Amino acid sequence: MPNRKPSPSKPGLAGPTLADIRVARERVSAVVDTTPMEKSRFLRELLGQDVYLKAENLQRTGSYKIRGAYNLLAQLSSEQRAAGVVAASAGNHAQGVALAARELGIAATIFMPLGVALPKLQATRNYGAEVVLHGHVVDETLRAAAEFAERTGATLIPPFDHADIVAGQGTLALEILEQVPDVTNVVVPIGGGGLISGIASTFAQLEPELGRRVRVIGVQAENAAAYPPSIAAGEPVSIATTATIADGIMVGRPGDLNFGIVRDAVDEIVTVSDDETAQALVVLLERAKLVVEPAGAVGVAAALAGRYAVDGPTVVVLSGGNIDPMLLERVISRGLIASERYLRLRIPLPDRPGQLARTAELVAEANANVVEVLHTRHGSGLQISEVELELHIETRGPEHAELVLTKLRDAGYRPRVDF
């Protein structure tokens, strides 16, 4: 969807005004940290332009969500505050609402799905919210939260489809501009669209002051990419999402308000696979020394995969860092496999002494490292006189992995890469 950003003077650009966003910036400054802007040498080499990482993974609660949540809650009437607030979330929105409510002295009830990651559950409780576990999928959790609001009079706090939420997220654009005044491109993860609509709306309305357009690029997980078909249809449409490691942006339908802003003010939307996201997470750990959740890493994933080209200083928003350590372990493994730095090989061998030692010797001669071995007589497709060896091997990348395979093949073995 190239070249969709209108002149900011065009009437009808949906959502909060620039004045609303500037007021929100003052309002949220009481609780929101100014997060670091890290220059990325490895992305500069890749894209040929100065690239910066906006580290919202280091924000309070571990994501940008506190911006919108606090901006909305701070404007509630005394009657609304007395009745409390309620939200439904599997993670970052829950923590943002919980902290905002605590800072403002408002009782918060957060509905979370059964099976929510333990660190997210504990963090939400630690911020002072009452947590209710309900439903196996987020839709069930949302319905329960809405019923609670209807029954108790509590204010339901939506995760993205609200003008005050959008204005709060738009404060990030003002912060980006202060840290990188000559920014030309901003790359933003997209789920329901709260963050990108806030950022894109802000830059669109700033165009007369800046005297230039800031290009905004959105990135979705390919298993939960509702915006491309919605843009094509001219209205928000629901899609069937499938499992993705980027669960923080796994939203099946754009927000109504958010859709209008994205349609009019975002220049391009691209998608990335889970393997590409996993590789990006590993790169961020190794090269930037930053722990980022999969949803927060999709902008880097799209850069590594060549999904977009840029001209001029570029900011990639790392939207969050809340990742369960157990998931982190699995994602790192997947990222290493996807980048061919971790090979899982199955090798049929003659069932006689010395074969295990010989294969290990060949791997060592190729300067690779065996980290795990499984030796079995029960592999599928084996001859009665054969066994199967499963080797897990660390390599330095695709070329080194191919060298290991060639070494084994030249010795008469038939290694099969098992993903």
Walking along the chain (419 residues) 10 residues at a time, the average pLDDT comes out as: 37 79 96 97 94 97 97 97 94 94 97 87 94 86 94 96 97 98 97 96 96 97 95 94 89 94 96 94 93 96 96 97 87 77 83 83 86 73 75 84 88 83
219, β-bridge pairs: 189, 270
pLDDT at residue 347, rounded to an integer:
86
For residues 294 and 288, give the distance between their C-alpha atoms in angstroms, rounded to a whole number. 15
pLDDT exceeding 90 applies to what percent of the chain?
66
Using the structure block, give the residue that is written with the tokens 């290694």.
Answer: 415
Nearest to 138 by CA among 108, 96, 93, 99: 93
pLDDT at residue 377, rounded to an integer:
66
Tell me, yes or no, if 319 is annotated catalytic. yes
- Which of 5, 319, 339, 407 is catalytic? The answer is 319
- Which of 65, 120, 201, 339 is catalytic? The answer is 65
pLDDT at residue 381, rounded to an integer:
65
For residues 305 and 323, give the distance between their C-alpha atoms in angstroms, rounded to a whole number. 22
223, 89, 73, 266 alpha-carbon torsion, rounded to 10°: 0
Residue 50: C-alpha distances to residues 46, 181, 300 (Å): 10, 13, 14
pLDDT at residue 1, rounded to an integer:
41
pLDDT at residue 315, rounded to an integer:
98
HSE-up of residue 122 (Cα within 13 Å, Cβ side): 6
pLDDT at residue 389, rounded to an integer:
82
User: Residue 281: helix, strand or coil by DSSP?
Assistant: helix
Delineate the domains of the chain, giving CATH numbers in brackets: 18-64+162-335 (3.40.50.1100), 67-156 (3.40.50.1100), 340-417 (3.30.70.260)
pLDDT at residue 416, rounded to an integer:
85
pLDDT at residue 7, rounded to an integer:
34
pLDDT at residue 212, rounded to an integer:
95
pLDDT at residue 378, rounded to an integer:
66
Question: 198: Cβ–Cβ under 8 A, 6 or more apart, which residues?
Answer: 15, 16, 21, 68, 165, 166, 167, 168, 169, 170, 171, 172, 173
The model's pTM: 0.84
